Every structure is written in structure tokens, then in C-alpha cells.
Structure 1
């Protein structure tokens, strides 16, 4: 399976300038191509009988070479791949927009999500990588041996540059200590398993929100485009990067531990965007990273030989009694203890939901079956227990 690898670059001032130039050219090509596409869409809307064919990535590149690149000499100071891939990504963005997968593409601003993609002769050697035009660049950690990536992406976060590429890894099945487990995600605790194990989130935004607000307040009093304004903006970006790194590190540790030690994992398909509509809980939900937790679980279960069972988002895991199966009519967020009116069962509401998710995952596996040898063993044990 293909996985992404990302590491920080250890570069000098000359290389930092070259990387900034590549990112600037890619950003300029994207914005020029987006402006042309907007003109085509406006013309087709105003003249429905004389429609112009929407430009593809090849059409955009031919137009860029003829109209833009010929009169801007600084385009030739960087690799030709930077504007090419920028226009290809713009074409893919419009395809996603027409299919109603994503929204309309936006113009890019300097210093916000700066990145570019290169291909060609790329060589990897221990702690350095060679890319076209820029040459050899050092890294802070060892790169995978025998790796020959076809394309690489260089991006900037605050004042640091990172390189990323895809590599192929063989999945490895790890020994499982637990067959079935259910996971319920929450705000007080990031994840609670059906076995009673509690995983706390990083809550990095909550820790650094005051410091971030203070730096943003200082930044708004600086004169735009001044050196002090740039320094203050870098300080704000560093805090954002630290918050994101702490959250991502915590999520990676939790998802790796769960994926390695559990064979079948049951989770609920949460409507994160709908939950974010609650203004009182939006910051806490975003600070936990529910979507990133689900994304990491999807590929790590494949990597470590586990199975992820995603249940319907309308499954009443919190309202259903895990002992007798009685469903309550309503359950407010203030009620942190589940009390069954039928059998008198009392339990923490998150633990009760995790147990219900475990039972639902067991039922799905028993009904559908699994393809791997380990899953067949689990199904056989399930049948023996039912008998």
C-alpha cells in the first residue's frame, strides 16, 4: 500500500530563496490559470449559444507558455515542473468542483499554504535528497533506503520547509490482544474503548489559545508589509504549527496503539461538519480532531492487518442500553451517566456507547464475514461462542 512520508528540510539561505521562488511561481501560475477559467465561465454564462470549451491542464500550460511565461523572465529561474503541476492541480480542483465534491477554487496568497511539486531525476541518499534545479538538500532524519520517488512536494509551515512524497509499504499483521472493540469519541476524553480504556486528547488549542490571541492582538497593530508585521505573522504561524503538531502526534500514538492490538474495531460515522455547527462546542470538537482520527484509523487498520467497521451515523449507540437493548427516547449532553429504566443498568454514557459499538461490529462481522485468515479465526470463535 502507498503511504505518505514527510520530513523537515535542513537548508541554507540560498536554498531557502530558491524554494520561495518555486513556491511563488507555482502560486502565480495557479492564480493566472484561475483568472482565465473564471473568464471562460463568465463568457459561457453570458453567451449560452457561443460556448467556449473549458480549458484542460494542457490548454492552460500552452496558454501560460505563450502569454505569461514569455514576458516574465523569472519563470526561467525555477524548474518548469512547478507551474506545470500547479496548473494540473487547478484542473483537478475544477473537476472536483464540477462533480460537486469540493467548492470553487480560490486564489492563493503569499505566505499561506506555500507549496510546489517537482518531478524528474530525484535521488535519495541517507539524509539528503537531490531534486531538479535546487540540487541536494539535507534532512533532519534518515530517509527510507532504496526509495526512488517519481514526484516530491515541498511545502512551508511558518518559517520551516518540508518535503513529502509517497512510498510503497508492505502491510504487516501484528498480534492482536483483543478480538472485538468499540470506540466512542467524545469531548471530555478523545476516545473510550468498550474494555474501559480511556485516551485523552492533546487539547493543544485550549492550552495555547491565550498565547495565540495575544500574538494576534499584537500583530494587528503592525503596519502592513513591514518587517515587524512579517515577524509577528511568523510568530502566529509558529503557534498554529505547534498546536497542529501536538494534536497530530497524540492522534498518531492513539490510533497506532488501537490498530496494532485490536482485530476488529467498531466506530460510528460521525457527522463532524454538522457537529461543528454548534457554536458552543465547535472549538472543542475541532481541538480533538475527530475527522483526522477516523482518517488515520482507515489506513492503519489496513497497515496492521485489522478491520475497521464503520457504523451508520444514526445508530443510537448512546441511547441504547448495552445490557437489555432498550432505547431511551431522549438523552441530553448533560446526562453523563446512562440509566436504563427497564433493567436498572447504570454506566458511563461513553462506555455504554462503546459497548454498543462493539456488539454492533461483532454482529456485522458475523453476518458478512471477513476475508483474511485472522478474521476467519475470529468468525469461527464467534460461531463457537454462539453454539
Structure 2
């Protein structure tokens, strides 16, 4: 079965000096608009709320605010227009998540953040892509590098938008396309996965996937972080050290990205049902002991990859409730051992005498619970 999906293709672009100025100007415009609209809305909200009229954000209001902002700041007319309109759409989404989904309040954007971006929406011929160059409105043709597979997709797929991004000293164009993929063949197999800090993942079949060895990368990143803290900001020596810092940061990120893509592809190919816990990763970061380890392994990135690939290729991804006692429950008889602590690695069930490995037992319970959830969903659909 063929399915239509949206996919992001990351291209490394190579702008010259004058192009870099235009890119930085558009990034600055996007940041300027975001911060000003956020400040304007906050002041208006306080004013309306004081008189008993709550002001909720919407696209129409933000569009009006942008027009006012452009009249007061003529330099905004020199920038790419669709990227400026995209800013208030993104801000409106952020407020929707805040009011309806309980997400954090939108924050102001800093110029010092090494990650800066703006998004250009496809509008007529404002975006064109050839075999070696990408043409963007207000910028012209820019050389890019990518794989042969991506070049084929760019030729045969519909382009929706392009996000220009500066990350760790390099520029990228993330091209959002609409393409088709074929669903993978069914294998009839299911797997439960218990994510952890000691091991990246433990599978219900007993397989343990260890964390990546990033000691060298972390050591070099820490070394150059210390060096940067002692140097004058944006001096020549600071910029030289910054390039070395970016080099090791990119190496670490690429290593994680590559390993997680391989692992997620393996799981999606081998299994029809993939079950995991619905972890509260943000809450886990509040633990001072766990936060540094969680930051290194990027659990959310792995979880997200498995989730969207399962949706693409016709596999079932199920998340078990985070409060389900997968570690404390015996997967054989269902007995709940309340004496299990974080230090307990192995335990024996007092009822059925089954010896359990902490993480393998949890993975098996996650799989069993996910199968129950899946069966309930199928029954509801039939009803």
C-alpha cells in the first residue's frame, strides 16, 4: 500500500559573503517580529484582562500587529514576506499549546542563541531547486550538498516550504516535501521496549542496546566550553575556539542521529507492534542526577523517530501509561512487588518463583499491556 507523507530533507547550503548577510538579516527580522509581537500581545492581554475582557490570540490579530510593526520599521519590507507571516503563525501555535495543552508560555528569542532560523513558504516560483543549487526569494541561487537519494526526491516531489537554519556555525536548508512511501511487509512479530539510563533500551526478547560511547566528544566539548568562558566574546581567538567547539558538537549530534536512525529503522522493519512507555521526559529533567545523562542520550529524539516511522510504514506504535508499574509487576503471574527500588537490578517473584531481570521484565510487561490496549481499540472500532 502506498501512502502520502510529508518529509523534511536537510541540505547543507554554501552561501557566499553577501548571501550570508541576507540570511542573517532575515533571521534577525524573524526574531525581531517574534519578540515584538510577543511583547505587544502581553501588554494588550494585561490591558484587556484588567477591564475584564480576556484577549485570546488569533491569526487575524497577529496579522494586524505585523502590519503595524512594518509601518513603524521600514527595514522589514526588505525581508522575505512569507517568512514574516510564518512567524505569527508559529507564535499563534505556541499560544494555542499554552492555553489548550498546558505547554510553557512562549519565550523571547535571543540573538546569542547558536540556532537561528526562518521559514519560506512556497508561493509560485519563489523556491526553485536544480541539481546543485537552490533558489530562494530575496537571496538568489545558493549551492548545496546532499545525497543522491535526496536529489531524486527533490526532483519528483512537491515542495511545501523551506526552513533556512544556522546551527553550530553552518547553514542548512530543510526542504519540506510531499512524497509517497510503500508500507513495509508485516512480520507478525511484536516487541516491548524499556528505555533507561544504564542501557539505552532493553527489548522484551532479552536484547540490550547499550548507550553510545560519547566520552571523547563530551570531553572535547567540555574542554572548549571552558576555553570559551575565559576568552573575550567574539574576539579572533574566541571565534577560532568556537569553530573547534562546533566541530565536536556536530560530531556528537551526527553520531547520535545516525545511530538512532539505524535503530529505529531496524525496529520498524522487524516488528509490527512496537510498545514503549509514555515517559515524562520533561519531568525527568528536573532530577539533578538524571538530567546530565538524559541530555547526553536524547531519549525524546529516539522515541519521536520510532513514532513517525511507524506511522509512515504502516506499523503500530503504542505508548503505555507512564504510571503503569511495569518494573514492579511479575510478567508471569501478575504479582506486584512493592519493595523494588532503583537499585534493584534482579528479583525473584515470591508467588511463582520466576527470576526477573529488572529491565527485561519491564519490557515484557510493556508489551503485554500494549497488546491489551490494542485489542481494546480494535473492539471499539468494531462497535
Q: What range describes the TM-score normalised by the shorter chain of this pair?
A: 0.7 to 0.9
Higher mean Cα deviation, 277-286 or 307-316? Answer: 277-286
Which residues of 2 match residues 16-27 of structure 1 at below 5 A? 16-27=20-31
Work out whether 1:3 is the aligned partner of 2:7: yes
Is 2:317 aligned against 1:317? Answer: no
Task: State the match for 2:118 in structure 1.
Answer: 116
Deviations 1:82-118 (A, max 9, x none): 3332233233333333335432222222242211111
Alpha-carbon deviation of 1:169? 3.2
SS state at 2:192 partner: strand
The verdict on how the C-alpha distance between 1:181 and 1:98 changes in structure 2, with shifts beyond 3 A counting, is: closer
What is aligned with 1:137? Answer: 142
Query: 1:59 Cα deviation (Å)?
Result: 0.9
Per-residue deviation, 1:23: 1.1
* Cα distance in 2 for residues equivalent to 1:64 and 1:129: 30
Q: How big is the shift at 1:63?
A: 0.5
**Cα distance between partner residues in 2 of 1:342 and 1:364:** 26
- Could you tell me whether the CA contact under 8 Å between 1:171 and 1:302 is conserved in 2? no
Query: In the superposition, relative to structure 1, how do residues 323 and 156 fare at CA in structure 2: closer, same or farther (>3 Å)?
Result: same
Among candidates 169, 173, 177, match of residue 163 of structure 1: 173
How far the C-alpha of 1:182 sits from its partner, in A, is 1.0
Deviates more, 1:356-365 or 1:292-301: 356-365
C-alpha distance in 2, partners of 1:300/1:259?
7
Which residue number in structure 1 is paired with residue 161 of structure 2? 151
RMSD over aligned Cα atoms: 2.7
Give unmatched runs, 5+ long, in structure 2. none
* Cα shift at 1:155: 0.5
Distance 2:204 2:54 in 1: 59
* 1:257, distance to aligned residue in structure 2 (A): 0.7
TM-score normalized with structure 2 length = 0.86
Question: What are the within-5 Å matches in structure 2 for residues 41-80 of structure 1?
Answer: 41-45=45-49, 47-48=50-51, 56-69=61-74, 72=75, 75-80=76-81
The 8 Å contact of residues 158 and 178 in structure 2, kept in 1 or not, is answered as no
Work out whether 1:337 is the aligned partner of 2:346: yes
* Candidates 278, 283, 288, aligned match of 1:274: 283
Distance 1:131 1:17 in 2: 14
Structure 1: stretches of 5+ with no match in the other structure: 377-387
Return the alpha-carbon distance in structure 1 between the equivalents of residues 136 and 84 of structure 2. Answer: 16
Deviations 1:137-194 (A, max 9, x none): 2221143122332321101111111111322233422234451211111112211211
TM-score w.r.t. the length of structure 1 is 0.85
1:173 aligns with 2:175: no
Q: Does the CA contact (< 8 Å) of 1:180 and 1:361 recur in 2?
A: no
Q: Which residue of 1 aligns with 2:293?
A: 284
* Greater displacement, 218-227 / 310-319: 218-227
C-alpha distance 82-348 of structure 1, shift in aligned 2 (>3 A): same
- State how many pairs are aligned: 367
